[in-house]
Every structure is written in C-alpha cells, then in structure tokens.
Chains A and B, each alone.
Chain A
Amino acid sequence: MKLGLIIISAIFINNFVLSQFLGICPFLGVSKKIDTAVGMSIAVTFVMGLASVICWAVQIFVLDPMGIGYMQTIAFILVIAGLVQFVEMVVKKTSPTLYQALGIYLPLITTNCAVLGVAILNIDKSYNLIESLINGVGAGLGFSLAIVLFAGVRERLELAPIPKALEGFPIAMIAASLFSIAFLGFSGLFSGLL
C-alpha cells in the first residue's frame, strides 16, 4: 500500500517538475519535439531509479557510519556523475540500440538537480531501499509525464497564432505555469492517507 502511495505521490502530487520545480532546465530545453522529450524522459527515469538505489547505499553504508552525513550533496553528485558515465560506457558497448535512443541525454542529466533531488529526498524521508527505488522510478515517470505532455503543447504552440512579443520562449513559460497550476489540483489527494 505504501509503495503504491509513494509512486502515485511521486508522479502526480509531488511531481518533480510541476510541483517541486526541480529539473526545469531539461523540461524547457528538450521539450520542443515529442521524440526528443521521450528519449530524455527514458534516460531520466533510468538514471533516477539507478541513482536512488546507489545513493541510498552510499548514505547508509558509507556516510552515516563515518558520521559525515552532511557531505551528502557532494558525495551524491560524485556518485551520480560517476555512475552515469559508467552506465553510458556499458550501454554503448552492450546495447548500441539503447545507446542510440538515449544518446546525448545520458551525459546531459549527470548534474541534473532532479536526479540529485530524488536521492536527497529519499534520505530525508528515511525510505528503505525498495521505497527509494520506487520513489526514484516514480519521480522519473512524473518527469516523463510532464515533459512529454509539455512537448505536445509546444508542438501545437508552433502553429498557433501567438502575439509577436510572446512567440517562442515566453509563451512556453506561460504554458508551463498553467501546466503547473493544473497539477496543483492533485495536492491534498491523499491528505487523509499519508
């Protein structure tokens, strides 16, 4: 039951992009086409799930016993960057097709705040290993949902009659804010349960 709540919460209620405002950079940068948005979201989901597990292990088995839990941020960045590089190499060697699909997006998200954010939130909420994994994957799915939907909106914006001053980026920001307000509707969904 709790796992279900965690995943629903990560996707809708505490959506990383639209409620917690993490990972805004790729959200706006890679959302011009649905194709690229899908590639990016697969890579993010993958890395978030992986980073959640590894960072949880680093926190519990390395940082906490040493009493240096406050070095979390630096340690996690280090872990995530190293991990993504490693995964990229392995994927490139073992599955060229997957590498083609993830392509440039893997290295782009090494220092993404959403990935770091999910790792730190897992520790803050004192999740166990499974819960961390679920939260990581859920957060990734939430990111995917937001970016793919937004890419669809932006593709339509290209063809819409938009006042000259708002063309391009400004209208994307306005659309993103409306999106975010819409997602606020999910808040309080589980207030009695969580």
Chain B
Amino acid sequence: MFNSIGLPVIVLGGMAVFFGIVLAYASKKFAVEVNPKVTEIRDVLPGANCGGCGFAGCDALAEAIASGNAPISQCPVGGSELAAKLAVIMGVEAGSEERQVARVICCGDSNNAAEKYEYQGIKDCKAAEMLAGGSKSCRYGCTGLGTCVRECPFDAIHIVNGIAVVDEEKCTACKKCIAVCPKGIIELVPVSKKVRVLCRNQDKGKATMQACKIGCIACQKCVKACKFDAIKVENNVARIDYSKCVNCMMCAEVCPTKTIYANFADRKKAFIIEDKCIGCTICSKNCNFEAIEGELKGKHKVLDDKCVGCGQCFAKCPKDAIEMK
C-alpha cells in the first residue's frame, strides 16, 4: 500500500518542493530589474501570446510599448478598450483627441476607372505598382488588389467594386494600411469630418478626365466656394485642411465632377430656440451665408434654404440659444 501510493507521492512531492525552492531562490538571486511600466502593461495585455501584433508574444509587445516603439493600439485582440487602459499607464491622452479613421482618397472603382491592361501577377498592390503603376487607367488611384485589406488586423478595410473602402466603425487608426499602400492614398481624418475629396490625381484636368470618370480637374471652384479658407488646390488636386473644415459641404455642392463627396442627408440646420434668444445679433454677424435674419433686441430666425449647417452661430451664441439638428 505504502509502496504503491505513498512512495511516488513522497518522491514526486519531494522533487516538486525541491524545484520550488530552487526556483524561488533563483528568482531572488537572478532577479532582473525591469521597467515597472513593462510589468504593468504586461498585466493588462490579453496574455495569449498570439503574435497578432507582430511581436514575439505579449512580453515583447509590452516592452515595445513601454519603450515607445509600438503604439498603444498595437494589440489587435484588446482593441480600443485595451488601448484606453494602456493610455492611462503610458500617460498618453487617448480620449482627449477626436477619434481618427483611415480614409481612401480615390473613387476610381470598376465603373469609373478603366483597366489599361489585364494584370495577372501576384495579388499585391506593390507588385502591381511596379508594372507601370498598376492596371488602372489612373496611375494615382487605388489598384484594388487588397494589400491593405490583408494588412488590417481589425477587418476594417475591404475591396468594394475594385477599390479599398474603410469601415469607419471598425477602424482604429493603427496606420498599418497607410504604411503598406504604395500609392499613398490612405490618410487619417477626424471621424466627424464628413466632406472628402476623392481624388489624388496630380495630372492636368484633361489627362485626369481621360483616366477616370470622376477626378479632380483643379478648376478652383471649391476654393472659391469655401468661406473658411479650408480647401486649397495644390499639384492640380484639391485638398481639404480638416483643421479648418466645418462640414458646410459648399465645396461638394459646387464641384462639377462630383469629386468632392459629402452626404447631404447628414447636413445639419441651425435652429434658434426663441425663448433663449435675446437678439444680440452675434449669430447673424458670424454667419458667412447670410442665413440668419433679425433685428437687434428682436428674436432671430434661421433661413432654412440658406443655412448650410456650418455651426458657426452655434459655437458663437452666448446664450446657448442655437441647436444644430
């Protein structure tokens, strides 16, 4: 009885205790002082060692984040929740800045841009880029071979009708797609900015029109239409300065080629709450579109057909009497 149960228990138990003591001693004797942040970060990481981040396991990622070599959003498993926790540890302000999303600046899908040859090489944008800039007739546009799709760890970018389209709900602004795109047509934009120039073609207007049905011909109409100095034409293509853009969508309204895209259904209107309005006229002075009328000391009114929802009056009203809906 003792020989069949007791002996193995004692021997193996003894070995276990012996190893335990040795390891306990070794952990003190061979302790290496590490950056306490690494340990902290390691504790909140999922710990599955899946390698999805591109590092050799969670320990390696924790070290890279602590030393600033990896962004806090690197872990695809933890997503934005984890990034928020890491932001606290690293002292980076994750929440104070507006969420950004990647956007593909091209609308040369299969309907708009023709194929100049039949591409039969490996399915990789960089490879296609080396063959006369890809098979699309426009050499600035998306090749649609999905290198960014394969790179995205969040399943947030897909090829739809021949061009890459970002799913803004899923995008975490990790910039991996931006890094791999050989055309450089993906950029980070604050998620609230609704107006987009969908072209990067730097050719002159005529050449652009030959390459793609929709494309910026650098006609400058948007520049003139913008009352906030937020759009400029450089290298024959319009670019929006999103720090100045207020979503008034005027540029999209005047664009003759419909290269500037905005969903007009999203356009808001200012609305004055009459009970709160004291007739200070600040709103009408700030309106660039002459869409607010009213006498000094009298109730003001927004002219719906002129208001473009730029929100300037909303921002300036001292009595919070304006709503955007």
Taking a contact as CB atoms closer than 8 A, the residue among B12, B26, B32 that contacts A71 in the complex is B12
Tell me whether B49 is interfacial, beta carbon within 8 Å: yes
- Number of CB contacts from chain A to chain B under 8 A: 60
**CB-based nearest B residue for A85:** B23
Tell me whether B57 is interfacial, beta carbon within 8 Å: yes
Cross-chain contact B12 with A36 (CB below 8 angstroms): no
Stretch touching chain B among A61-69, A171-179, A183-191: A61-69
Cross-chain contact B15 with A62 (CB below 8 angstroms): yes
Residues from chain A with Cβ under 8 Å of B124 in the complex: 159
Cross-chain contact B11 with A68 (CB below 8 angstroms): yes
Number of residues from B at the complex interface, CB < 8 A: 22
Cross-chain contact A68 with B7 (CB below 8 angstroms): yes
Residues from chain A with Cβ under 8 Å of B26 in the complex: 86, 89-90
Q: CA of A161 to CA of B11 in the docked complex: distance in angstroms?
A: 57
Which positions 114-130 of chain A face chain B at CB distance < 8 Å?
none
Tell me whether B228 is interfacial, beta carbon within 8 Å: no
Query: A78-B19, A89-B26, A93-B32 are known contacts. Are A103 and B57 too (CB-CB below 8 A)?
Result: yes
**CB-based nearest B residue for A82:** B19
Cross-chain contact A89 with B30 (CB below 8 angstroms): yes
Cross-chain contact A103 with B11 (CB below 8 angstroms): no
Residues from chain A with Cβ under 8 Å of B30 in the complex: 89-90, 92-94
Cross-chain contact B12 with A104 (CB below 8 angstroms): no
Query: A66-B11, A68-B7, A90-B30 are known contacts. Are A78 and B122 too (CB-CB below 8 A)?
Result: no
Taking a contact as CB atoms closer than 8 A, the residue among B8, B16, B23, B32 that contacts A92 in the complex is B32
Tell me whether B278 is interfacial, beta carbon within 8 Å: no
Tell me whether B243 is interfacial, beta carbon within 8 Å: no
Contact with A along B5-26 (1 / 0, CB 8 A): 0011001100110010011001
Contact with B along A35-76 (1 / 0, CB 8 A): 010010000000000000000001000110011100100110
Query: A62-B15, A66-B7, A161-B122 are known contacts. Are A104 and B57 too (CB-CB below 8 A)?
Result: yes
Cross-chain contact B8 with A104 (CB below 8 angstroms): no
Tell me whether B167 is interfacial, beta carbon within 8 Å: no
10 A-B interface contacts by CB (under 8 A): A36-B56, A68-B11, A71-B8, A78-B16, A82-B22, A86-B19, A90-B26, A94-B30, A103-B56, A108-B49
Instruction: Give the interface of A toward B (CB within 8 A).
Output: 36, 39, 58, 62-63, 66-68, 71, 74-75, 78-79, 82, 85-86, 89-90, 92-94, 103-105, 108, 159, 161
